[in-house]
Chains A and B, each alone.
Chain A
Amino acid sequence: MTETNPAAARYLQRLDQELSAIPASERAEILREIADHIADSLAAGRRLDEVLTALGPADRMARGYAVELALNRPNTRLGAIDKALTVIGLVAVASLPSFIVSVILLSVGGGLAAAGLGVTGGGIVALVRPDLVPDLTVAPWVCLVSGPALVAAGAGILYVLFLYIRFLVRLTQRTVRRIGDGRTAR
């Protein structure tokens, strides 16, 4: 009965197009429900134009579904291959600058820490066996103070590197999870 009415059929066809983001089986149920609604309204003695006006424009109806079903949408999840490609892409884009930053932090931090150890060691040797380092131009206590300070600075930089890597790992985990939920898609 509804199907034979061109205005009703047009409305349903437009709704079908507007709902294209919803999977076919769900969409078919929705369309049948709205078709039933039109048929029931007509059977109750209402005029078709009145019924269609009450339903509102097809795109507004479709937006209603989009809003409600967005909270609970298994269909827009990415496929496994898409997910893997997205993760590889993200890692590739993020890894070069991260690699450079990590290498700089590692070499500066490591260098400072090693130099600090050397200076401290030199200071100790100068105190215990001054004859081994006859050409030391500064007092041993300068080495004993500046050495540990250098070690501390190096350790600080290495700690920053640790924080940075931890941040990257967490960011990656969160991104992967979000991709899994399909929320970053479209």
Chain B
Amino acid sequence: MSSSHASGEWTSQLRRGVLELCILRLLSRGPSYGYELVSTLDAYPMLASGENTVYPLLRRLKQEGALETFARESPSGPVRQYYRCTRDGERRLKELEKDWNAMVSDVTSFSKEGRR
């Protein structure tokens, strides 16, 4: 890793917070199962969080009612536990996206002002 310990810690906290948004976004597009979700996230270096972050988060979102599970045959054959977004999850996603967009725009304009 090229980043220092401090910035690595910052990045992992940032990623952890954003991960909830990304998982809800992915599942609002259609049902998916654990391995597929992990693989999709792995394609984005800033989002690649590791199985021991993604799977526990999925359980929490399910417990909180943002996600629900159902059994379905996966493309590779066997029956898999699929996740899908509930109505609560969709609502949560909208809130998180609103906050995220506000955060990005605030940080961006804040940084620009600083340069003047």
Q: Which A residues form the contact surface with B (CB < 8 A)?
A: 26, 29-30, 32-34, 36-37, 39-41, 43-44, 54-56, 60-61, 63-65, 67-69, 71-72
Binding site for A on B (CB under 8 A): 33-36, 38-39, 50-53, 55-60, 63-64, 69, 74, 76, 78, 80-81
Q: Determine if B60 and A37 form an interchain contact, defined as CB atoms under 8 angstroms apart.
A: no
Q: Are A64 and B52 in contact (CB under 8 A)?
A: yes
A41 to chain B, nearest CB (A): 6
Closest residue of chain B to A34 (Cβ to Cβ) is: B55
- With beta carbons under 8 angstroms apart, the residue of A29, A56, A72 that contacts B52 is A56
What residues of B have a CB within 8 angstroms of the CB of A69 in the complex? Answer: 56, 59-60, 63
Question: What's the Cα separation between A92 and B25 when bound, in Å?
Answer: 53
Which residues of chain A have C-beta atoms less than 8 A from B50's C-beta? Answer: 54, 56
Q: Provided the pairs A40-B35, A54-B50, A56-B50 are in contact, do residues A64 and B80 lie with their beta carbons within 8 angstroms?
A: no
Q: A29-B69, A72-B60 are in contact. List 11 more A-B contacts (CB 8 A).
A: A29-B81, A36-B34, A37-B34, A37-B35, A37-B51, A40-B35, A56-B52, A64-B52, A64-B56, A65-B55, A68-B60
Contact call A43/B52, Cβ cutoff below 8 A:
no
**A37 engages B38 (CB within 8 Å):** yes
- When chains A and B are docked, how far (Å) is the Cα of A36 from the Cα of B77? 11
Closest 5 CB pairs of A and B: A40-B35, A64-B56, A68-B60, A68-B56, A64-B52
Cβ-defined contact, A55 with B34, below 8 A: no
Known A-B contacts A55-B51, A61-B55; the reply to A71 vs B81 at CB < 8 A is no
Nearest Cβ on chain A to B62's Cβ, whole angstroms: 9
A33, B81: Cβ atoms under 8 Å?
A: yes
Are the C-beta atoms of B55 and A72 separated by less than 8 Å? Answer: no
Complex contacts, B60 vs chain A, CB 8 Å: 68-69, 71-72
Across-interface contacts of A33 in B (CB, < 8 A)? 34, 55, 58, 81
Given contacts A30-B59, A33-B34, A41-B35, contact A55 B76 (CB under 8 A): no
Residues of the A chain whose Cβ atoms lie less than 8 Å from the Cβ of B36: 40
Q: Are A64 and B55 in contact, with the CB atoms below 8 A?
A: yes
Query: Which B residues are CB-close (under 8 A) to A30?
Result: 55, 59
Residues of the B chain whose Cβ atoms lie less than 8 Å from the Cβ of A67 = 56
